[in-house]
Amino acid sequence: MTGRQRSTDEQRDRVAIVGASMTEFGQRDGEWIMDLLAEAGIECLEDAGVNATAVDHLYVSNMTSGEFEGMTGVMNALVHDLGAMPAYTQRVDQTSSSGGAGIYAAWQSITSGASDMTLLVGGEKMTHKTTGESTDIIASIGHPVEYKHGVTLPSFAGLTARHYLEQFDVPRESLAKVAVKNHKNGVDNPNAQFQKEVDLETVLESPIIADPLRLYDFCPVTDGSAALLFCPESVAREYTDEYAVIAGVDGATDTHVVHERDDPTVMQGVVESGKGAYEMSGYGPDDIDVAELHDMFTILEFLQMEGLGIAEQGEAWKLVEDGYTERDGELPINTSGGLKSKGHPLGASGVAQGVEIYEQLVGEAGPRQVDADVGLCCNVGGFGNCVITTIMEAAQ
């Protein structure tokens, strides 16, 4: 193992991201969690031109390999598949925000001096189960009192959306416009599960799932994987001239019992993790040029915009109506297509958010490219039970 000289000043420097990759998201029949993790891991190392033997720490963001595939120890299997032995490895689980938690763990591994080169691979294989089975496994995230009463994440989304629309007198169409925007962005993402536009009518006339939310207000069930490679900024230029830096990162929790929250339209975990990431970075909401938000349900995009100070409470919908969050708007949100059209393989999603922001900052986003020096990702676990916010900036 390298990276053991823990207390030098060089290792106290910032954390750079020098490689990124994601697999195709979608229904990956005949492939399994290990195939997906290995694909993203190998591609990420190739992207950075780094040999697997240089990796000190390997984190795997994954929630459910045991429940979905009867396979545990996936992190050790990935060390094996990549040839990264004797790299330290660990599985990071923070339910739907496991990917963001992996970014935070990677940041800590480099900043503490424990590692000089940390590979993070997030992934999930889900589509071989029925939607009912998937929903049941995902519902086990919640507090048992909610789970036993059948209150799944989609039902919380419906209840919250209803409350939001009524409290702030918001037109139903505004929620649908989030889906329309993110599907439009997904058309230009060759790895997105849905690379097709949808129009407002399609969203508004799709089947009701959890009133007032309809099918197109929800992300799909997805297989996929994504990876990021981290090192101290002081050595980043040994690998690449174009890299991104983690300017701020923080995680926070909200109540595990959702009905205990004072105001269901405020996600306290978003507020607190955002505050931490802003403080650490020195940036505020006005400095963000591009953002990936956790649009598992359309309503969540509004709640995160508001929790992060991008919009006032109850007013995020106006920015969507004004085109502020379109790819050519003031602050493009979910240029990747978001969870909505890109798909949501639980442990991969937070990592894939990081991949999109990284690609935007280093100018590798192809047809999705926007002008950005500072980007933000917000990854939400449960129904806001745990949230990680990460702010990255382009290297100077």
List residues near its own copies by CB under 8 A.
Answer: 1, 4, 6-7, 12, 34, 63-64, 66-67, 70-73, 75-77, 79-80, 84-95, 101, 104-105, 107-109, 111-114, 137, 140-144, 147, 250-257, 268-269, 272-273, 275-276, 279-280, 381-382, 385-386
Minimum CB separation of residue 286 from its own copies in Å reads 21
Minimum CB separation of residue 5 from its own copies in Å reads 9
Minimum CB separation of residue 196 from its own copies in Å reads 32
Minimum CB separation of residue 18 from its own copies in Å reads 19
The residue (of 35 and 242) whose beta carbon lies closer to its own copies is: 35
The residue (of 54 and 386) whose beta carbon lies closer to its own copies is: 386
Minimum CB separation of residue 106 from its own copies in Å reads 10
Minimum CB separation of residue 139 from its own copies in Å reads 9
Residue 154 CB neighbour total at 10 angstroms:
19
The residue (of 220 and 381) whose beta carbon lies closer to its own copies is: 381
Residue 173 CB neighbour total at 10 angstroms:
14
The residue (of 81 and 188) whose beta carbon lies closer to its own copies is: 81
Q: Computed from CA positions of residues 141, 145, 148, 152, in that sequence, does the dihedral angle turn out positive or negative?
A: negative
Residue 363 CB neighbour total at 10 angstroms:
12
Phi-psi region of 381 (alpha: psi -120 to 50; beta: other; left: phi over 0): beta
- Retrieve residue 60's tokens: 């795997």
Contacts of 389 (CB under 8 A, 6+ apart): 100, 248, 249, 250, 251, 270, 273, 274, 276, 277, 308, 376, 377, 378, 379
Minimum CB separation of residue 338 from its own copies in Å reads 23
The residue (of 63 and 210) whose beta carbon lies closer to its own copies is: 63
Angle formed by the axes of helices 153-167 and 298-307, nearest 10°: 60
- Pairing state between β 15-22 and 224-232: antiparallel
The residue (of 34 and 161) whose beta carbon lies closer to its own copies is: 34
- Retrieve residue 384's tokens: 């806001």
The residue (of 184 and 275) whose beta carbon lies closer to its own copies is: 275
CA–CA separation, 195 and 212 (whole Å): 25
The residue (of 87 and 226) whose beta carbon lies closer to its own copies is: 87
Minimum CB separation of residue 178 from its own copies in Å reads 26
At CA 393, angle to CA 79 and CA 187, rounded to 5?
75
Contacts of 177 (CB under 8 A, 6+ apart): 200, 320, 321
User: 342, exposed or middle or buried, with CB in 10 Å at 0-12, 13-18, 19+?
Assistant: buried
Phi-psi region of 314 (alpha: psi -120 to 50; beta: other; left: phi over 0): left
Minimum CB separation of residue 345 from its own copies in Å reads 16
The residue (of 142 and 375) whose beta carbon lies closer to its own copies is: 142
Where do the DSSP E strands lie in 23-77?
Answer: 57-61
CA–CA separation, 114 and 7 (whole Å): 10
Minimum CB separation of residue 269 from its own copies in Å reads 7
The residue (of 23 and 273) whose beta carbon lies closer to its own copies is: 273
